[in-house]
Amino acid sequence: MSLTIDVLTLFPRMLDGFLAESILGKGIAAGHLAVKVHDLRNWAVDKHRTADDRPFGGGAGMVMKPEPVFSAIEQVQTPGCRRIYLTPDGTPFTSAIARELSQQQHLVLLSGHYEGIDQRIRDRLIDQELSIGDYVLTNGTLAAAVVIDALARFIPGVLGEEKSLTHESFTSKLLDFPQYTRPAEFRGMSVPEVLLSGNHAEIEKWRYARQLEKTRQVRPDLLK
């Protein structure tokens, strides 16, 4: 029972490198998840393959038309699938949401563009709206990539070591401790003595103290 993700976007090539590289590329090659990227213009009805139009009521910018998006979603959706729209006015995306999405069987990710999309798409076809942060991207394709990357890490087998999941930030609600590797001495900077000591209890204590310190400095909101 693996996860299939359909991405609907006006810029499918933005995802080419992303899906082929690194841990995600390996996870897809190994069959832990499948990602299908679709060009929304394939569902446009006119000869110019128009996907946007001026907003009713006036105002700047263009709005994504309902017809191509309705046709696209109706074609790729399956019973029980989760249809998600990426938008800066969506619910803030978190690690908890990523984990929950990783347990689904089928996701449809709709990436918006222009000043937005026709509200009827959101009213009728969208189950969940997600924002990846308080800033506005030129389109939602990178946001879809972020969601895919974050949820893929929760799919069993995608990360080699289970441990790298349990130890990290946002699973524990603390930020990470600093990491070092060889050489122990580099340009006059040395690795903290405790990490070379082999004393695992002391190492754990030191790491936890660094996590608290870092979290207090950078993200005090996580400690509340």
Angstrom distances, CA of residue 78 to CA of 100, 110, 169, 186: 18, 15, 34, 55
The 122-161 site mask, x for binding ligand ADE (CB under 6 A), equals ---------xxx-xxx--x--x------------------
For ligand ADE, the closer CB: 117 or 174? 117
Asked if 3 is part of the footprint of ligand ADE (rule: CB under 6 A), the reply reads no
CA angle at 99 for the pair 111 and 149, rounded to the nearest 5°: 45
Asked if 109 is part of the footprint of ligand ADE (rule: CB under 6 A), the reply reads no
Shortest Cβ 5–ligand ADE spacing (Å): 16
The β-bridge relationship of strands 82-92 and 128-131 is parallel
From start to end of the chain, where are the E strands?
A: 3-9, 33-39, 52-53, 63-64, 82-92, 106-111, 116-117, 128-131, 185-186, 189-190
Shortest Cβ 30–ligand ADE spacing (Å): 28
Which of 26, 39, 88, 191: binder of ligand ADE (CB under 6 A)? 88
For ligand ADE, the closer CB: 3 or 117? 117
Phi-psi region of 83 (alpha: psi -120 to 50; beta: other; left: phi over 0): beta
For ligand ADE, the closer CB: 117 or 175? 117
Q: In this structure, what token pair is assigned to residue 16?
A: 């080419």
* CB closest to ligand ADE, residue no: 143
Q: Which residues bind ligand ADE (CB under 6 A)?
A: 86-88, 112, 131-133, 135-137, 140, 143
